[in-house]
Amino acid sequence: MPPTVIPTLHWEGQLDGHLVLIDQTLLPTEFREISCRDVESVWEAIKVLRVRGAPAIGVAAAYGVCVGLQTALAAGESAFLDRVNHVIDYLATSRPTAVNLFWALDRMRRVVTAGRGHLSSRQLAERLLAEARAIEAEDRQTCRDLGRHGATLLTSGQGVLTHCNAGGLATADYGTALAVIFAATEAGLALQVYADETRPLLQGARLTAWELQQRGIPVTVICDSMAAQVMREGRVHAVIVGADRIAANGDAANKIGTYGVAILAAYHKIPFYVAAPASTFDFAIAAGAEIPIEHRDPREITHGFGRQTAPADVAVYNPAFDVTPASLIAGFITERGVIRPPYRENLSILQMPPKSSGVV
């Protein structure tokens, strides 16, 4: 059994080092860390969900750039720059919905632009590794701040429902939705968490339940179809989920099934919160209808975890995400505080430099 808290991913070594990450496809029955020593293995890890969760994907992609440029360290400036740009473009094709992927890659590209013409290939590579480390460190602090703000929304004895996995496994350290639960528990609150199974890949059952058990937090796994009944029985007092991309108007894309949970929460008059860092907000997208939705392999449904459960050649519709309208969201829990409606006006705080105190 691994330690209670272990990094989801980290860089090992210096400029010639590599990315190490937990293979989340094996949890909860097997814990294994894998080493990604080339950009293809990082791309594959993101694509097949060995690493998942918008913030963690962003950190992995940044380190993926550092891995990918190692083959061109001895090349001339032109060849090195061509290689870095190729690696960034390649990593951007791994998954389409999580905006942190593109946010992190854009940060890496800006480092390249700033250093072009006056830094050697090695110096530029060192700057890129420093930027990737900064992205990881910022994510750790962001999650801690986010959890602290969100914990104020809960009281001891409450039941909290969450969907998919937005814990430490989805970030560099502490999580988004689960950061709120971790922070509340550390503050002495007693909570009962209900984790939706999250079909078809069962991130709630496999990952969220595993994380909460590691920390000794009471958790009960329910099938996605049970959420309405659990709410009607009065067991749930708040819903907290993460997000992969949030539009300027507050529409939020998260793992498929989140929209349905939000509708159920609204019917039962339960506050529905989205916990996400500022980097997950895409202000270039006006509304949720513009968010690109990833469609995944039909075999995830017809042959889940290797066993056929549907007729051969049956038609399958397998979007990985849905979009929850802003009207169903009671508030966004961010590192800058809890942001309430109206969102078009109030979310603009996330586009401004933070105050020195770090508190809105």
Please identify which residue in the block is written with the tokens 């997208």: 285
Active site residue 244: yes
Helix H or strand E segment including 193? strand 192-196
- Of the listed 244, 251, 282, 322, which one is catalytic? 244
> Rounded distance, CA 252 to CA 51, Å?
21
Amino acid 34 reads I
Sheet with strand 238-241: strands edge to edge = 219-222, 192-196, 159-162, 238-241, 272-275, 331-334, 337-339
> Rounded distance, CA 195 to CA 220, Å?
6
- DSSP at 295: B
Among 162, 175, 178, smallest CA distance to 55 is for 175
> Rounded distance, CA 215 to CA 185, Å?
10
Contact 164, 258 (CB under 8 A): yes
Please identify which residue in the block is written with the tokens 């913030």: 55
Among 42, 10, 45, smallest CA distance to 24 is for 45
- Give catalytic residue positions: 244
